Amino acid sequence: MSRGVVTEAYQRLSEDGHVEGRGRGGTVVVAVPGAPVEQARGIGRTPSAEALFTTPPTVHVFDAVRVLPSRIDLSPGAPDLAAFPRAAWLRAERAVLAELPTSGFGYGDPRGTEELRRAVAYWLARYRGIAADPREVLIVAGTAQALGLIGTVLREDGIRAIGVEEPGSLGVRQHLRNQGLETPPVPLDEDGVRVDALREQGVGAVALTPAHQFPTGVVLGGARRRELMAWGGVVLEDDYDAEHRYDRAPVPALRSMVPERVCYAGSVSKLLAPALRTGWVLAPPRYRDTLVDAKRFADLGNAALPQLVLARLMESGELERHLRMLRRRHRRRRDAMTEAIRRHLPRAVVRGAAAGLHLLVTFEAAAFADTELAAAAVAHGVKTHPLSWHRQLPGPPGLLLGYAATPAAVIEAGVTALGQALREIGG
């Protein structure tokens, strides 16, 4: 066989999670076992699967899901951690360490290193249509810290409630409520958040995922964007998976339209790995200094070395090459999940397929609860999120099914198990 055939075979095996390259150790076959029982028990406070899905979700719910034993994890929001560019990261880290002056190991700017702020500004201009000076960029420990800092600053400015999308991210609500803020629901339609309902809430700020709404995948339409801009409040724009687009061109960020009223947050959690805890915020001018002060008193700034490594990956083109590879892989896995749903969940309505890392499936006019289906799925070894966790108002049952971190063959097995669970509960 030719070298090309062998290379292609190895690439496909690697992308499907069957083998792993280990440098000089060669390429080895890998397995993906479920989390061991000891890990799932944690410190003895992890609820059972039945308790997890039969009681309202607490602040510990995502930790509990992560350690719940399973054969197949279809939880949303999980990137493909096996795809992390270890070799490129190591090369960049060695280069950074070789060039870093002694002063670089001292305390730095709480806004972040100049190198990463410059790289992020260029990245946002290229991919999100945002014109920003590097001095406007604040590096934070992921979108979670961004929400905490922004919530603190807005509360100090007299804002007591921030509207959130309905349905919308449970995690976002939890972080905002932790800052003492109320999170009234603002319903959606096929064009995104309803600005008329937002006005009725009487809030001074709203948290949105306009490019790919979580969890429905709705894109905030042009007319709705103009209506939102005329509304006059502060917008928290969570651009959580901006780079992951497959079947349509990306829409510009809201920040590119009205920078004076949009707090923009992004991160590399869905592009590289959540463990890096690296993200960025662009704040409106009136909040910029206050937000930097909040970051200073929170932790004096992110660790400098990972920032410098990430900046080098961005500027060298390595991160862009990684993104192109991810898009190809994600599209194949998305297609595999869509086809599996068609065969095994024929009555499910699929939403959000054009972008992102997950699909939303809903079961219109169904008589069962989605928490019941999620619990039955765990009994078959499959983890996912019930849609009701991400709702504040009643609605049809549904599941959020992540595909980015799961090989196509495993996706097929997982959706097959979901079909079996659905039949068992009479769905």
> 181 with 225, same domain?
yes
Query: What total of structural domains would you count in the chain?
Result: 2
> 137 with 153, same domain?
yes
From 296, 316, 336, give the residue that closes a domain. 316
Question: Mind listing the pLDDT tens digit for each residue in 129-164?
Answer: 999 999 999 999 999 999 999 999 999 999 999 999
Residue 298: what pLDDT? Answer: 97
Name which of 287, 279, 221, 285 is nearest 254 in CA terms. 221
Domain with residue 362: its CATH number is 3.90.1150.10
Residue 259: what pLDDT? Answer: 93
> 80 with 97, same domain?
no
- DSSP states of 355-414 as a string? BSSEEEEE-TT-SS-HHHHHHHHHHTTEE-EEGGGG-SS----EEEEE-TTS-HHHHHHH
> 127 with 42, same domain?
no
Residue 2: what pLDDT? Answer: 81
- What is the spatial distance between Cα 50 and Cα 382, in angstroms, rounded to a whole number? 14
Residue 30: what pLDDT? Answer: 60
From 316, 336, 364, give the residue that closes a domain. 316
> 112 with 261, same domain?
yes
> 329 with 412, same domain?
yes
> 108 with 239, same domain?
yes
Report the half-sphere exposure of 319 (CA within 13 A, side-chain side): 21
Instruction: Please report, as a single letter, which amino acid is at residue 93.
Output: E
Provide the domain limits for residue 21. 3-84+321-424
Residue 243: what pLDDT? Answer: 86
Instruction: Per residue of the chain (427 residues), give pLDDT as tens.
Output: 788 778 777 776 775 667 767 666 678 786 444 333 333 334 345 566 678 998 999 999 999 999 999 999 999 998 999 999 999 999 999 999 999 999 999 999 999 999 999 999 999 999 999 999 999 999 999 999 999 999 999 999 999 999 999 999 999 999 999 999 999 999 999 999 999 999 999 999 999 999 999 999 999 999 999 999 999 999 999 999 888 988 877 788 999 999 999 999 999 999 999 999 999 999 999 999 999 999 999 999 999 999 999 999 999 999 999 999 999 999 999 999 999 999 999 999 999 999 999 999 999 988 999 999 999 999 999 999 999 999 999 999 999 999 999 999 999 999 999 999 999 998 8
Residue 44: what pLDDT? Answer: 44
Residue 251: what pLDDT? Answer: 86
- What is the spatial distance between Cα 116 and Cα 111, in angstroms, rounded to a whole number? 10
Q: Is the bond preceding 167 in cis, omega lying within 30 degrees of 0?
A: yes
Residue 82: what pLDDT? Answer: 95
Residue 133 phi/psi, 5° resolution?
-75, 140
> 270 with 413, same domain?
no
- Helix, strand, coil percentages, rounded to 5, for the chain: 50, 15, 35
> 225 with 362, same domain?
no
pTM of the complete model: 0.88
Residue length of the chain: 427
- What is the spatial distance between Cα 162 and Cα 153, in angstroms, rounded to a whole number? 12
> 289 with 402, same domain?
no
> 294 with 381, same domain?
no
Residue 34: what pLDDT? Answer: 39
- What is the spatial distance between Cα 268 and Cα 342, in angstroms, rounded to a whole number? 32
Residue 122: what pLDDT? Answer: 97
> 245 with 137, same domain?
yes
- Range list of β-strands (E), 108-259: 137-140, 162-166, 185-189, 192-193, 205-208, 234-238
Domain with residue 143: its CATH number is 3.40.640.10
From 290, 316, 342, give the residue that closes a domain. 316
